[in-house]
Amino acid sequence: MPCDFDPQDRWERFADPLHRALKKDGIGIVTGGGTQFSEPDQEGNDYVEFCGIDVDLYDSARGLALLRRELVRLQAPAGTVLLYNLEGHAWEEPVYRAES
């Protein structure tokens, strides 16, 4: 997520609802999250580049579909992406897809 959410806010607004939905369907769990900071600028200031929620999926197809659907429902910020590894390949997909 390309934003600066306080960890508690991020958990309450996104991680906890995602965890409940994944667990309810038996297809995964939320395992954590974090914040990526920039390198300090010349004045020594850094900024949040993005924050993330870590998820383990037991069923990748169903789990990715649920994550996308729930993140849209929860109004994740524009520019939010799903970053994942599947069969040895790294993938990045936007949550919000342009309609064709």
pLDDT digit string, tens, across residues 75-86: 999 999 999 998
Q: How far apart are the C-alpha atoms of 36 and 86, rounded to whole Å?
A: 23
Q: How many CA atoms lie within 13 A of 24 on its CB side?
A: 9
80 has which bridge partners? none
Q: What is the pLDDT of residue 100?
A: 39
- Spans in the chain with pLDDT lower than 50: 100
Q: What is the pLDDT of residue 77?
A: 92
Q: What is the pLDDT of residue 99?
A: 58
Q: What is the per-residue DSSP string for 32-63?
A: EEEEEEPPP-TTS---EEEEEEEEEESSHHHH
Rounded to two decimals, the pTM is 0.84
